[in-house]
Amino acid sequence: MLLLNHAVVITNDQDNRVIKDGAVLIEGSKIKEIGESEILTAKYNEAEVKDVGGKVVMPGMINSHTHLYSTFARGMDLKTEQPPRHFLEILEKLWWRLDNSLKADDIYYSALYAILTGIKQGTTTIIDHHASYGQIKYSLEIIAKAVEESGIRADLAYEISDRNGDLMRDAAIKESEEFITSIAENNSEHLKARLGLHASFSLEDESLAKVSKLADKLDSNFHLHAAEGRLDLEHSRLKGYNGVVKRLDEYDIWRPGTIAVHGVHLQDDELEILKENQCFLAHNPESNLNNAVGVTPLKKAFDKGVKLCLGTDGYTTDMFESIKFADLILKHSSQDPRLGWSEIPEMVFKGNPELASQSFGVELGVLKEGAAADIIVVDYFPPTEINSDNSYAHILFGINGGMVDTTIVAGKILMEDREVQIFDYQKIAYETREQADDFWQRF
């Protein structure tokens, strides 16, 4: 047993309790008890004790949508005469060329580096959306290797698309089916999987019928981009549907737990469809503004009762950064400073944990008896009191990923005193850069 004591414990439980001189007892992969330091230290005097010295202890962060394969794009020369002028050109000149160039070692180091950076910033669970049409077969297994070596939790999907023709589409479907079957058979504590789709505009009717039938066979739901750019909406209208969600609804894509990502150009009645089918809408504000595609209609989605969560889309690995940006863009786009105080914490500390808990079959994103021991220690000593009413304000204005001191997943310490324990981080960073140099030459 491991006892974290003398902490300011932010539980994120139903009552959002804050224990000012609190302790968390870990036994195996679960939390055994939470309470006051003095009581738990005396009660469990045989436990190993880690005195956190007044730092904040809170649940590990969950990223509801990212692309680990995007790591090598940072600072990369696109080798084009003109930079991308709109969203489709961003896909064509950057992302689709990048994923067509990826090989096995690129996939592995892209994933491992991003995962380790996330660990340093307090992320304990990720929902990843992968594409590597240069290396389809075994690509998910390669990412799974990086996940298992690092010790985090990851829900993986391969984005099936028709953009490279029938043969590659079928190879992506096969990779997805084999990996999902393998994960179900192994019942890993750290790995889960679901079917991934790119977006409506890159999927033919025949492909949607195929993946829908496969989802029935595998008892899977989906993870896909939905109305990220206006071209997705316009493509659906050309097909005779007033929106992406309506088109995909014809193929039973909207199943309980399906993740619709972005949703920038969704219509009001499409939000109703997502709600009725108990789907999640993953908001990625930094990516949306970087790609100049627009702003997700969050207020409308909240008002309609859609399940919302927050991701990064690979723009960053720091969920604390995304929280700040999500808050600002909601206020700015609505011209209403009252917004964000309930909506953003609802996404991050309710929506993300609900999504991840459904996937992994264990309670995540909360510190309570019986929940998973996915915990971070944050080196934050605030100038004002932290309590149940203001803990989110402290997270919003006071905490960033660089302040994370310790990261624990399933009771195992992955980083302590800002030193990654499971790998030589500097060595991995060096090897990643060497691999990136090789990739840039091939891009």
- For 123-164, write each residue's pLDDT tens digit: 999 999 999 999 999 999 999 999 999 999 999 999 999 999
Domain count, the chain: 1
Range of the domain at 233: 1-361+370-443
- For 59-110, write each residue's pLDDT tens digit: 999 999 999 999 999 999 999 989 999 999 999 999 999 999 999 999 999 9
What stretches in the chain show pLDDT beneath 50? Answer: none
- What pLDDT sits at residue 187? 86
pTM value > 0.95: yes
Q: What's the CATH code of the domain at 429? A: 3.20.20.140
- What pLDDT sits at residue 218? 98
- What pLDDT sits at residue 314? 96
HEC letters along the chain? CEEEEEEEEECCCCCCCEEEEEEEEEECCEEEEEEEHHHHHHHCCCCEEEECCCCEEEECEEEEEECHHHHHHCCCCCCCCCCCCCHHHHHHHHHHHHHHHCCHHHHHHHHHHHHHHHHHCCEEEEEEEECCCCCCCCHHHHHHHHHHHHCCEEEEEEEECCCCCHHHHHHHHHHHHHHHHHHHHHCCCCEEECEEEEEHHHCCHHHHHHHHHHHHHHCCCEEEEECCCHHHHHHHHHCCCCCHHHHHHCCCCCCCCCEEEECCCCCHHHHHHHHHCCCEEEECHHHHHHCCCCCCCHHHHHHHCCEEEECCCCCCCCHHHHHHHHHHHHHHHHCCCCCCCCHHHHHHHHHHHHHHHHHHCCCCCCCCCCCECCEEEECCCCCCCCCCCCHHHHHHHHCCHHHEEEEEECCEEEEECCEECCCCHHHHHHHHHHHHHHHHHHC
- What pLDDT sits at residue 273? 97
- What pLDDT sits at residue 89? 92
